[in-house]
Structure formats: structure tokens, C-alpha cells
Amino acid sequence: MDIGAVMNTMRDPAGVPAHPVVFQVLMVITWVAHIAFVHLALGSAGLAIFAFHRRGADKATGAYWERLSMAMTKVAKVSVSLLIVLGVAPLLFTQVIYDPQWYTSNVLSGRWAIAFIFTLIVAYCCWFAFYHANHEGAKKHVGFYAWVAFGLFCLDGLIMHALSYQALLPEQWMNWYAPGGMVDTRGAALHAIQWPRYVFIMGLAVPAVGVFLLAYAHYFAGREDREPAYRAFVGALGKRIAQWGYGLALVPMLAWQFDFPAGSGLVLHPVGWFIVGALATMALWMRQLGDDTHGYLPAVCGFGLLGVLAVWREVIRIHYLRPLGYTVQTYTVHADWPSTVLFFATLLGIGGLVGGFYLTLLYRAGRVRGVYQADRTVSRLGTGAVSVLGVWIAVFFVYGIAISMHDSFNLN
Ligand code: HEM
């Protein structure tokens, strides 16, 4: 059986509305946003639990640990919702250009793909229970909810990883579908897990929360209710976590680097080794980080590293699938300029202006204690955001109605 021909036949015959590389680039970019919030959610959840258990252990800093635990519980709560929302975009792009691989992988582990939704719901509910209960002097047993949530989040990451990784191994699909020639349609197994890849990607949550704490300490510099001693405690902790997190991430990264199939050209690939070098550099930099460094800079560099990781995942996918005869370049294109223009205009207008307005508003409002008074720039941004939203809704309906009428006249 020619697996390349099988994969190409499984493609959507409707094709794609613009050049496939457009979707590939968008898939890589949007995944960065998804994984950044996966890291922030897991990192802040882990730290919230750790800090929760350290509250009473140390008399001098116990109150700081308690405050930090409550703050990180909130950060994780918001981050989970953002990681879910931001996961949708790369999911759609994957389904557009890698539909044969993604759907096959999901069907082969169907029960897990469905369990993913339910476990995520249970995990998020448990986290909310913890959030609700985690106050000053909270009882120790409420930590149970946090542990359950954290365990399930990690399980969800494992399911995501297996679905991504199985999609790279089409030569094994038949063995999983019909082991020993007997068809097994249960979808009851996660068939392939590459532990170094999973541990590395998930483990980046540790340095992520470290650089987040550095940014957090900087962000609240102007708020008198976050006194200098507390911010110094948070900053020093962030620096230590980031230093160790980046250093330790080298272990699974190197294990992953040497786990690629011989002859795939990936073991010595420069992008993989660039990541190794960047991790080592970040670890050394965090070790020597002085007070004069801008608090946001480590987070910006960490985000850049995720961009390289996103490219690396795509390079790996190309190296696995191209020898089998699958490349996105050959996807049928049925150009649809109006929808492409609408898409990019939405991205710029709604994403840029409306998203930009919300981000600016939240950023500035959070730096003020009590009531926040928006200045002229923010109120102008708000007016622009509402206007662009109105134009977008109007275009959406007018365009939709015009197409429907055009189609129904053509049918008659
Ligand atoms: C707690 C929940 C989640 C965790 C911990 C998580 C974690 C991960 C991880 C670790 C990967 C990389 C896997 C790898 O490359 O080996 C990944 C990929 C991905 N995740 Fe998530 N994720 C979560 C929820 C979601 C949700 C809700 C969505 C969609 C709405 C989503 C969409 C994606 C997509 C599209 C990919 C890339 C798949 C590909 O490239 O083929 N994730 N996720």
C-alpha cells in the first residue's frame, strides 16, 4: 500500500481557498499563542499549589507564599480559558492542511479524543473549586481539588501530544487500526507517545512561570498595595525558577534531539540545536540577571523561544511526512479572494483594534488601585474598536446575504 497516495486521497476535495503555505504559517504562529498560555496555566497552577503548601512552613515568608498562591490561582484560572480559546486557531489550520493525519490520529484514539473534553471540563471545575476556597487561612484539604485539576491538565497535554505525534507516523496506522489483521474500532489506546517531546514541551511551564513572575514584579511597581518587599520576594523567586527551569529543560530537549529516526536528518538539524543553545543561554542569563534589566525582557525572549519551537515542530512534521509523499505544497487551491480578504481584514481590524483596545485597557487598569480613569488614547481606541466591530458585523451580514441571494438565483 502506498501510504502517500492514501493520505493524498483523504484530503478534502474542496481544496483550500488560498496558497497552503498561508495556512501553514498561520498554524505555526497561532500555536505559539496557544502553547504560551498552556505554559502559563501549568506553571502558575503548579506554583499556586506549591505556595499553598508552603504557607505555614516558613514564618518569615508564610504570608507572601499565601498571597502568591492566591494570585497564581487566579492567573491559572484565566490562562486555562485563554489556552482553550487560543487552541482553536491552530486546530482549524491543522485540520485544513493536515486533515488526513489529524483526523486519522483522532479516530485511532477516539475515546481519548472525547475523554479530552470531559477531563478538561472536570479539571477546570476542580480548579474553580480551589479558586473559590483558596483564601487567607484556607483549610489544607482544599488543595485536593488543585491536585486533581493539575493532574488532569497534564493528562490533557498527554492526549494532545499523542494525537500530534500519531499524526506523524502514518506507516503505523494500519497496525493500530487492525493489529494482527483484526480490526479494532474502539479507539481505546494512545498508540504512540514520545516522552522526551512531551516532557520537554510541558516542562517549559516551569521557566515560563519564572519569567512571568519577573514581569509581575515589574508590572506592580507602581501599586502601593504590592509593597517593595513582596515584589522583591516574587522577583527573586521568579529568577530562581527561570534559571533552574531553563537549565533542567535541556535534559528532555537533548533526549528528544537524539530520539529522532536515523537518517531523518533531524538529529543534527540546526533549528533543534538552536533551541538547545537558547535554553543554555537563557539559563546563564537568568543566573546573572541584574536589577537593571527590564522586567519584561526575559518574558519577551521566552516567547521568542516558543516561536522557534513552533517552527521546529513544523520542520519535524515536514521531515516525517515528505519522504512518504505528503507535502502541503500540493494541496489543491480553489482561490477565494473575498473570503481571504475578509479573513485578514478581520484579523487586523478585530484582532488588532478590538484586541489591542482590550489589552491596553486591562494593562493600564491593572496598574491602578481603585477606580481607573481612561485617558484620551484609550477612549479613542475604544471608539475605534466599537466602530470597527459595527463595520465588521455589517459586512458579515451583507456579504452573507448577497452570496445566499446570488446562489438561490443561480439555482432557479
Ligand atoms: C489543559 C489543556 C491543554 C494542554 C495541557 C495542551 C497542551 C498541548 C501540548 C503539550 C501540545 C504539543 C504536543 C506536541 O507537539 O507533542 C499541544 C498542541 C496542540 N494543542 Fe493543546 N493543550 C490543551 C488544550 C487544547 C485545546 C482545548 C485545544 C483546542 C481548542 C488545543 C489545541 C492544540 C493544537 C491544535 C495543537 C497542535 C496540534 C498539531 O500541531 O498537530 N489544545 N497542546
For residues 79-87, average pLDDT: 98
How far apart (Å, rounded) are the C-alpha atoms in residues 261 and 274?
19
pLDDT (tens digit, 9 = 90+) per residue, 241-280? 999 999 999 999 999 999 999 999 999 999 999 999 999 9
Whether 202 is in the pocket of ligand 1, judged by its Cβ within 6 Å, is yes
**pLDDT value at position 59?**
78
**pLDDT value at position 39?**
98
Give the position, in ligand 1's atom list, of the atom nearest the Cα of 84.
27
DSSP letters along 243-264, please? HHHHHHHHHHHHHHHTTSPTTS
pLDDT (tens digit, 9 = 90+) per residue, 235-251? 999 999 999 999 999 99
Give the position, in ligand 1's atom list, of the atom nearest the Cα of 157.
5
Whether 39 is in the pocket of ligand 1, judged by its Cβ within 6 Å, is no
**pLDDT value at position 382?**
96
Of 289, 108, 322, 326, whose CA–CA distance to 207 is shortest? Answer: 289
Cα 253 to ligand 1 centroid, rounded to whole Å:
18
Residue 350's alpha-carbon distances to 81, 288, 353, 391, in angstroms, are 19, 41, 6, 10
**Domain locations in the chain as residue ranges:** 3-335, 336-412
* Whether 59 contacts 231, CB under 8 Å: no
Q: Whose CA is nearest to atom 1 of ligand 1?
A: 153
Whether 82 is in the pocket of ligand 1, judged by its Cβ within 6 Å, is no
Cα 261 to ligand 1 centroid, rounded to whole Å:
23
DSSP letters along 141-205, please? GGHHHHHHHHHHHHHHHHHHHHHHHHTT-GGGHHHHHSGGG-------------HHHHHHHHHTH
**pLDDT value at position 57?**
76
Give the position, in ligand 1's atom list, of the atom nearest the Cα of 91.
35
Whether 38 is in the pocket of ligand 1, judged by its Cβ within 6 Å, is yes
Q: Residue 28 half-sphere exposure, CB side, CA atoms within 13 Å?
A: 20
Of 289, 316, 250, whose CA–CA distance to 31 is shortest? Answer: 316
Cα angle: 161, vertex 162, 167; to 5 degrees: 105
pLDDT higher than threshold 90 for residue 159: yes
CB within 8 Å of 388: residues ≥ 6 apart: 349, 350, 353, 354
Out of 34, 44, 98, 315, mutate this one to test ligand 1's pocket (max ligand atoms within 8 Å of CB): namely 34
Query: pLDDT tier at 1 (50, 70, 90 boundaries)?
Result: confident
**pLDDT value at position 56?**
84
For residues 41-51, average pLDDT: 98
**pLDDT value at position 410?**
80
Whether 201 is in the pocket of ligand 1, judged by its Cβ within 6 Å, is yes
